[in-house]
Amino acid sequence: MTRTAAATSAPEGPAAMQLLLTEFDTEMAATRRLLERVPGDRATWKPHDRSFPLGHLALLVAWMPGWIANTLTRDSLDLATWPQYTFETTESILATFDANVRAAHDAIAAIRDGDLERPWSLMRGGRVLFTAPRGPMVRNHLSHLIHHRGQLTVYLRLLDVPLPQLYGPTADDRS
């Protein structure tokens, strides 16, 4: 059975797209500063038995801009075909993140009137989990990425890794 998400309208037009692109670029710059700090030699560390390992969480954050690109350029994402989590070097995570950010930036820049109202579906093994308009899903993916980025700051703090500025100075970076 398919659940359809609420069809909230997102403002469209050149000004709205520029605002979204500016917000995306700002959030991705902050996210990259954080991913640069992930210690690759601690990939299997986790703060609790039920938590993601650090490497898994960092890779998830690196992949998430790709979800935005997918949402704007394809009709669905099937989780069964998504890559499996592996433990990567910090450099590899950054390369993945950078490629996904470029793809998402380009997809956002290419948005035209009506694109954000078109349906997009999340699937697992060919089964539709839900369908929603692309605009709200792009916002959801961005919020979801920011949520996991917040988790990543907690992980790094627990490992005593200095945190970079995200929205302003931190106890570690007052520049």
The 10s digit of each residue's pLDDT in 37-96 is: 999 999 999 999 999 999 999 999 999 999 999 999 999 999 999 888 888 899 999 999
Cα separation values, 58 from 23, 41, 114, 147, 149, Å: 21, 13, 33, 12, 8
Amino acid identity for residue 8 in this structure? T
Q: Is the pLDDT of residue 154 over 90?
A: yes
Q: Where are the domains of the chain?
A: 12-158
Read off the pLDDT band of 7 (50, 70, 90).
Answer: very low
CATH of domain 12-158: 1.20.120.450
Residue 1 has pLDDT above 70, yes or no: no
d(CA 127, CA 78): 8
pLDDT score recorded for residue 25: 96
- pTM of the predicted model as reported, rounded to 2 decimal places: 0.88
Locate 33 and state its tokens: 């500063």
